[in-house]
Amino acid sequence: MTKLPTRALGPYTVSSIGLGCMNLNHAYGTPPSIEDAAALLNRALDLGITLLDTAALYGLGENERLIAGAVMHRRSEFTLTTKCVLDFVDGKRSLDGSPDAITRTVEGSLGRLGTDHVDLVYLHRLDKRVPVEESVGALVRLKEQGKIGAIGLSEMSAATIRRAHAVHPIAAVQSEYSPVVRNPEVAVLETCREIGAAFVAFSPVARGLLAGAVRQADYAAHDIRAAMPRFTEPNLAHNRRAVDAYDALAAHLGLTPAQLSLAWVLSRGAHVIPIPGTRSIAHLEEDVAAAHITLDPETLVQIDVIFAPGTIRGGRYAAAMQAQIDTETLPGEELA
């Protein structure tokens, strides 16, 4: 196994770049075969990735079953995180932050993963009907039972993070973060630094926008980007102009666009850990190489200029999904 630079994830030491496993079963059209997905997971471990991120929701549980079948025989080689609150009930997506639902979801995850312990469990979203203190309390009890090792939050604001942290130390906060999505810079990055939590950046290549993967809005069936305003017309054509300038900068530096984005995310702080997802082993190898890239200050300024505030048009999510997001918004940010 290759050795990568490491960063702290609560009580764990993990590779500075992890792997988001969602798209192996979920959200981006037809998934790869089980054999191809398993090969990618094992290649990730061979390359030195020691953080795998999944969730009960992904593939309606199939993502966790995939990990169980593909790499749990190598369990000592990686830190495993999953998520609750978002789950599936009778085959349908559900959001329930009540203690009973959290316990049921985590027990289901343990069963699908074929284990009695998972390293960290995130509250996948804030259920605004339930005080976050009650939701965290359910995870504290599971931790006391030895079923989970640490507690995290996903897509939550600094105020919510502090409320949760008052109940039990929060080991990690996960939110979308890339050169085109800067919401964590409002308050969450600094809050994580202050409380000693890792910040785990999902979609660090902007759902493929900064990886050469989105040229036009011709998405496959069941691709969530087809319902995301910034990925649909007329916004996409406008956004592509900034992305073209970004791609040219990456080429000038001798990097792939994804490598430039990942190196940028890594530069945001020693507590920041990007978790790109991919279905391609070649792209996985490119991503891992970004762990060794350091960007000079001039390049960081150029990226800020390309993606100046207001450059990207369209919300991150459609209205119904945005309603489940607790993160801070940017001045003038479009929310749909």
- What residues are labeled active site? 58
Extract the tokens encoding 23: 């798209």
How far is the first Cα of the chain from the last one, in angstroms, to the nearest whole number?
A: 44
Q: What is the side-by-side strand order in the sheet with 172-176?
A: 19-20, 51-53, 79-84, 118-123, 148-154, 172-176, 198-202, 272-274
Find residue 81's DSSP bridge partners. 53, 120
Spell out the residues 6+ positions from residue 305 whose beta carbon is closer than 8 angstroms to its own.
none
* CB burial readout 123-133, b (16+ within 10 A) else e: bbbbbeebebe
Task: Judge whether 19 and 52 are in contact, CB under 8 Å.
Answer: yes
Q: Which residue, 62, 64, 81, 130, is CA-closest to 101?
A: 130
Task: Judge whether 155 and 127 are in contact, CB under 8 Å.
Answer: no
- Which residue has tokens 């809005």? 217
Rounded-to-integer distance, Cα 315 and Cα 320, Å: 12
Spell out the residues 6+ positions from residue 237 whose beta carbon is closer than 8 angstroms to its own.
none
Length of the chain: 336
